[in-house]
Structure 1
Amino acid sequence: MTFSRSVCVFCGARPGQRPAYAAAARATGAMLAEEGWRLVYGAGDIGLMGEVARAAQAAGAATMGVIPTHLMQREVGKRDLGQLVITEDMHERKKVMFMNSDAIVVLPGGAGSLDEFFEVVTWAQIGLHRKPIFLLDTDGYWQTLMQLLNHVIAEGFADASLRDHFTAVADVAALRAGLRAALS
């Protein structure tokens, strides 16, 4: 399948506690296919990673998965993707995912998703890229993160412009609209 743009999705290798997280991951995967955008993600077939990938594939999206060798078994590396890249380490994984995407979307996730979010936001803050970054705030999942960032700003460790480097959206419809505007 041909694609016009690539969207990197960072998300959990676990499903989380709420069914809404998996539903949003599936809706995100389907939406990417409907828009003709390629999914670039961590290549796992478990948790929200598996949900977004299977939904994207089922709807006809092009897919690219990037996974380090040491996680192939743990994250059940998905081998039926359009493109599978196996890296030596996590740093290379993030770099390959970032370099092969036009926008970044962060779904609910754990420490890995937070690491990925903070890295791309930091890169934006210091002027290394201008790719749009979206937090999909399913059921208010990212509200405490946004409170923390407001605290960091209030305490003088970041400028208020930090908030300008990402957009929080409440649902997949708002995510679609934001991505369309950013990628047009």
Structure 2
Amino acid sequence: MNICVFLSAAHLDERYTTPAREFARLLGKAGHTLVWGGSDTGLMKVVADGVQEAGGRLVGVSVDFLAHKARAGADQMVVARDLAERKALLLAKSDAIVIMVGGTGTLDEATEILELKKHGKHNKPVVLLNTDGFYDGLKTQFRRMEEEGFLPLPLADLVLFADDGPTALAHLESALG
């Protein structure tokens, strides 16, 4: 399975890197391919290292203005013209999506993926990996959107909020059989 992971390229605290490394090892051990933003820095590097060390493959999609940070040892690396093309390529190359901790770029990717799913443009399973409660506020906001009629689908049909990597991976593997 090709699993797209949206996440930060920032250097983060161990409370985020340790669970990310563990999740990456699960992906690699299970023989899955990581599809990611291609960066060899920060949390992106941690996840790519973990997947590769555990025997998984790496498919990166960088963007022209960040190509200098692209991982040299990926099995495949594509450089997109802009962020819109990058997001489209990441979605096209994946069977499932996991959203990990990140900043505005990760949030942009997450909301676009969910918006496309809401409109039936893809039916790929999406998991929001809520490490250390990082996305608790977003979860509350999504529940409010659902309760007040802003979501045409049940929240559970759009995204699963998972507290840990094993739960996230089990959901994806179950969803894709």
Task: Give the TM-score band, short-chain normalised.
Answer: over 0.9
Q: Given the alignment, which residue of 8, 11, 14 partners 1:15? A: 11
CA distance in 2, matches of 1:163, 1:145: 14
TM-score scaled to structure 1, two decimals?
A: 0.91
Partner Cα distance (2:151, 2:171) in 1: 25
CA contact (8 A) 2:38 2:59 kept: yes
1:28 paired residue among 10, 13, 23: 23
Give me the whole-angstrom Cα distance separating, in 2, the residues matched to 1:168 and 1:160: 16
Offset from partner CA, 1:120-160 (integer Å, 9 cap, x none): 10011011111000011111111111111123334443346
Percent identity between the two aligned chains: 35
From 54, 57, 62, give the equivalent of 1:59.
Answer: 54
Equivalent position of 1:99 in the other structure: 92
| Superposition deviation, residue 20 in structure 1 | 1.9
**C-alpha distance in 2 between matches for 1:120 and 1:153:** 17
Distance (whole Å) between structure 1 residues aligned to residue 169 and residue 141 of structure 2: 26
Structure 1, unaligned runs of 5 or more = none
Deviation at 1:27, TM superposition (A): 1.3
Cα deviation, residue 87, structure 1 = 1.0
Out of 131, 139, 146, the residue aligned to residue 146 of structure 1 is 139
What SS class does the counterpart of residue 33 from structure 2 fall into? strand
Q: 2:128 aligns with which of 135, 147, 153?
A: 135
Q: 8 Å contact 1:43–1:67 — kept in the other structure?
A: yes
1:111 to 82, 100, 104: 104
Q: Distance in 1 between matches of 2:23 and 2:35?
A: 12
**How many residues get paired?**
177
2:41 to 40, 46, 52: 46
Cα drift, residue 175 of structure 1 = 1.3
Q: What is the CA RMSD across the aligned residues, in angstroms?
A: 1.4
Find the aligned partners of 2:138 and 2:126 in 1 and give their Cα distance. Answer: 15
Gaps of 5+ in 2: none
Measured in 2, the distance between the counterparts of 1:165 and 1:85 equals: 28
